[in-house]
Amino acid sequence: NTIEFSGALHATLLKQVCLKNPSNYTLAYNAFLVGRDAHDFSLPKGNTVTIPAGKQGFVNVEFTIRFLHPAEAVLLLISNKVDGIEGATMTFSLKAEVKSIEPLGIVRCRYPCYEL
């Protein structure tokens, strides 16, 4: 699965990954960001998620577009044992790209181009 982030340069984007637990046991996961541009992504609500039996949980992933080149990383979810049950390890590819460049501000000035 791939999670795509696209927006304007310097924009902060937030995506939510929904994890469903169809089992009769509580599942817990630790989330890790790995890869070339992992330092540009963050987990603002922490890196652990607990999913009660038959419910769903969410992992928030945030990315701030700082450069023009595309960014890539991997979201790795590793299960912790809860009630003696362990869930499957999951991975998600994170890809980000700049779709537009908008000025942060405009500065107007007058200055002579040359002096006699």
DSSP assignment of 34-53, as one string? ESTTGGGEE-TT-SEEEE-T
Cβ contact 31:75 at 8 Å: yes
Give me the pLDDT at residue 105, please: 83
Residue 42 in domain = yes
Residue 13 in domain = yes
Pairing of strands 48-51, 71-80: unpaired
Provide the domain count of the chain. 1
Residue 108 in domain = no
Give me the pLDDT at residue 56, please: 94
CATH of the domain at 49: 2.60.40.10
12-57 per-position pLDDT tens digit: 999 999 999 988 889 999 999 999 999 999 999 999 999 998 999 9
Residue 37 in domain = yes
Cβ contact 2:75 at 8 Å: no
Residue 77 in domain = yes
Residue 111 in domain = no
Q: Containing domain of residue 56, as a range?
A: 2-100
53-106 per-position pLDDT tens digit: 899 999 999 999 989 999 999 999 999 877 777 888 999 999 999 999 887 788
pTM: 0.81
Name residue 95's amino acid. K
> 109 CB contacts (<8 Å, ≥6 apart)?
none
The pLDDT-based confidence of 109 (bands split at 50, 70, 90) is confident
Residue 73 in domain = yes
CA distance 64 to 8: 10
Residue 116 in domain = no
